[in-house]
């Protein structure tokens, strides 16, 4: 199927944070797809909350992000991306290409959960301030072992593909997501990320390349890109970073 730029998309996600919605935003923006970030529109939050209660006969999403395209209302970040990427021209056509892309995306989403859990190790129903000692303990292992393991794995995937992208010469939605986790980790753990820069040279080069893609660069410079903040997944709490 020829990639279409005409399909229209409605993205539903919390309006004040990048969060998981950002992985979908980046794909839509990079592809130049026409989309509405519904919860940032007047009455949009109301529409988003209503759909989680009643999707009008379809399957109601459990949590944002979710995306409406045509008759389909689909949730789960990696699932959304896997479904829209072929039409956006952001994944290879073969079953193998799509399966590998989905596999790496799911692993990136695992890293996102781990990043979130550094400031909420006891759970989302408590404030960060109520779980600071546990956050510190959780972050120590994350910084020392988990970031290097995850990013080292992406680095090896880049070495194996020959780059410049994770699956070779053509960019996929997974490259955009890899850029986003590197950006998020740079924001949240600047000292740890600086120390490991030399061991992730290919991943750094990939991130720079993604940030320079014309539509992505325009998006990153626009007001549509919500700055990182301490309500999202990647939070800058210096006490959780490497000493």
Ligand X SMILES: N[C@@H](CCC(=O)N[C@@H](CS)C(=O)NCC(=O)O)C(=O)O
Distance CA 2, CA 170 (A): 16
By CB under 6 A, residue 63 contacts ligand X: yes
Distance CA 64, CA 52 (A): 9
Contact 74, 66 (CB under 8 A): yes
- Reading across the β-sheet that carries 35-37, which strands appear in turn? 35-37, 9-12, 66-69, 72-75
By CB under 6 A, residue 19 contacts ligand X: yes
Residue 181's CB is within 10 A of a number of other CB atoms, namely 23
Site string for ligand X, 67-86 (x = CB under 6 A): ---------xx---------
By CB under 6 A, residue 89 contacts ligand X: no
Residues 6+ apart with CB under 8 A from 178: 108, 154, 166, 203, 206, 207, 210
By CB under 6 A, residue 184 contacts ligand X: no
Which window, 57-65, 83-91, 140-148, 198-206, contacts ligand X (CB under 6 A)?
A: 57-65
Distance CA 48, CA 55 (A): 10
Nearer to ligand X, 19 or 121 (CB): 19
Distance CA 145, CA 141 (A): 6
Least Å from the CB of residue 201 to ligand X:
29
Nearer to ligand X, 111 or 158 (CB): 111
Place of tokens 């980790």: 185
**Token output for 27:** 């794909």
Task: Pick the binder of ligand X from 11, 85, 104, 109 (CB under 6 A).
Answer: 109
Nearer to ligand X, 16 or 221 (CB): 16
Least Å from the CB of residue 63 to ligand X:
4
By CB under 6 A, residue 180 contacts ligand X: no
Which window, 62-70, 91-99, 138-146, 153-161, contacts ligand X (CB under 6 A)?
A: 62-70
Which window, 58-66, 129-137, 149-157, 161-169, contacts ligand X (CB under 6 A)?
A: 58-66
Torsion of CA 64, 69, 70, 76, to 10 degrees: -50
Contacting positions for ligand X (CB under 6 A)? 19-20, 63-65, 76-77, 109
């Amino acid at each position: 199927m020829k990639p279409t730029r005409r399909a229209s998309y409605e993205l539903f996600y919390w309006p004040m944070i990048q969060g998981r919605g950002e992985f979908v935003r980046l794909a839509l923006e990079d592809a130049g797809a026409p989309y509405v970030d519904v919860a940032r529109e007047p009455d949009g939050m109301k529409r988003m909350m209503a759909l989680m209660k009643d999707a009008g006969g379809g399957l109601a999403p459990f949590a944002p992000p979710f995306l409406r395209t045509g008759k389909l209302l689909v949730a789960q970040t990696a699932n959304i991306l896997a479904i829209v990427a072929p039409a956006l021209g952001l994944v290879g056509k073969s079953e193998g290409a799509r399966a590998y892309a989905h596999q790496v995306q799911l692993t990136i989403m695992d890293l996102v959960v781990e990043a979130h859990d550094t400031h909420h190790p006891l759970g989302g129903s408590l404030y960060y301030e109520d779980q600071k000692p546990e956050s510190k303990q959780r972050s120590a292992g994350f910084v020392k072992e988990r970031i290097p393991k995850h990013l080292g794995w992406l680095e090896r995937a880049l070495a194996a593909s020959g780059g410049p992208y994770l699956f070779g010469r053509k960019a996929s939605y997974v490259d955009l997501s890899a850029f986003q986790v590197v950006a998020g980790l740079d924001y949240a753990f600047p000292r740890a990320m600086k120390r490991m820069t030399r061991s992730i040279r290919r991943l750094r080069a990939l991130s720079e390349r993604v940030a320079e893609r014309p539509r992505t660069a325009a998006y990153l410079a626009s007001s549509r890109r919500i700055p990182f903040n301490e309500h999202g997944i990647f939070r800058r709490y210096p006490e959780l970073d490497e000493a």
